[in-house]
Amino acid sequence: MAGPLGIIAGQGGLPVELAAAVAASGRGVVLAEMEGHPSGVPGGHPVVTFRVERLGRLFRDLRRAGVEEVAMAGILHRPAFDPRCFDLKTLALVPRIFRGLRAGDDALLRLVIAIFEENGFRIRGAHEFLADLVVPPGPMTREGPSRAQKGDAARGRAILAAIGPEDVAQACVVARGLCLGIEAIYGTDALLSDVARHRPERRPETGGTFVKVSKPGQEMRADMPVIGPATVAGAAAAGLDGICLEAGRVMILDAPNAVRMAEEKGICIWAT
C-alpha cells in the first residue's frame, strides 16, 4: 500500500471530493492547508499548516507524515509575502517565485510543481483519483445544444484558443456571437457575476453560452478546469442557457445536482 497522499488543499468542493475518494480506496490522506485558509475538508485527516515563506518546513512536515506523492486541489489564493518569515529554502527560491507570481496561473503552477519535484515529491493530478468526474463528449442534460448555442460555443472556443497561449483564461461567455466576458485572474464566479451585473443595462436579452476549456498545453496535474452547481447558478443569474465544456479535460463536481439544477433553469450542459 502506498503511503498517504498529501493534498495541497484550497477552498471549494474539489479537495473534499479528492480526500473522500482517496480515503475510500483505503489510502491515507494528509492535508496541507495555507495558514489562514482552511480547506473545510471533513473526515479528521491529519493537517499540516504552512506559510509560503517557509517551504522548507512544509517539505519536512510532509516527509515526517510519510508523504511521497502530492496532489493539488481547490482554490489557492496568491499569497502576500512577509520577507521577515523566509526560511533558507524559500529564500533561495525567491527570484523564481517572484517571476512566477508575475506570470499567469499555469506558469505559476508549473513552477510550484517543479519545486515540489526538485524536493523529492511526485505530483499526481486530482483527476487521476476522480476519473468519473471528467466530462465525456455529448450532452449531460436531456436537451442537447441548439444551433445557436453551438455557434456561440464555437465562437467562445475560438476566442479562448486565441488568448490561451498568453496564459490568460479558461472561460468566456458568448451570446449571439458577441463576447460578454472573459475569465481573468479572479475566476469563473467573478466572470459570471460581472455578466449578470452589467448585462441588463447593456444587452437586456437573455441566452448565451458559458464556455470552459483548458489552456493550450495546460498542466493538468495542478489545474484541470472544474465547474459545479455554483457555476450553473451563476450561469442562470447571468441569463445564459448553455454551458459548453471541453470533453476529457474538464471536471464537474456534484454532477447529478448540477445537471438537475441546469434542467430546472433551462440550461443545456454539453461537452465537445
pLDDT at 202: 66
- Strand segments, DSSP code E, in the chain are 5-9, 29-34, 47-50, 69-73, 122-124, 138-139, 171-175, 178-182, 209-212, 226-227, 242-245, 251-252, 268-271
pLDDT at 105: 73
More confident residue, 106 or 171: 171
pLDDT at 203: 64
Give the three-class secondary structure for 196. helix
pLDDT digits (tens, 9 = 90+) for 203-233: 667 899 999 999 888 888 888 999 999 999 9
pLDDT of 1 > 70? The answer is: no
Note whether 62 and 6 are within 8 A (CB).
yes
Residue ranges covered by each domain of the chain: 5-129, 134-271
How much of the chain, in percent, has pLDDT values that exceed 90? 70
pLDDT of 148 > 90? The answer is: yes
Question: Is residue 140 classed exposed, middle or buried when 0-12, 13-18 and 19+ CB atoms within 10 A define those classes?
Answer: buried
Q: How far apart are CA 259 and CA 142, in angstroms?
A: 9
pLDDT of 185 > 80? The answer is: yes
What does CATH list as the number for 5-129? 3.40.50.20
Q: How far apart are CA 152 and CA 157, in angstroms?
A: 9
pTM of the model: 0.88
pLDDT at 233: 98
134-271: CATH, from 3.10.20.880, 3.40.140.80, 3.40.50.880, 3.90.245.10: 3.40.140.80
pLDDT at 212: 98
pLDDT at 112: 87
Q: What does the DSSP 8-state code read for residue 202?
A: H
Residue whose grid cell is 479558461: 170
Note whether 108 and 100 are within 8 A (CB).
yes
What average pLDDT does the segment 44-65 reach? 94
pLDDT at 122: 97
Residue 181 corresponds to which amino acid? G
What average pLDDT does the segment 83-103 reach? 79
C-alpha dist (Å) from residue 127 to 37, 72, 162, 188: 23, 10, 26, 19
The residues with which 181 forms a beta bridge, in sequence order, are 173
Chain CA centroid to CA 51, Å = 21
Buried b / exposed e over 78-114, threshold 16 CB at 10 Å, is eeebeeeebeebbeebeeebeebeeebbbebbbbbbe
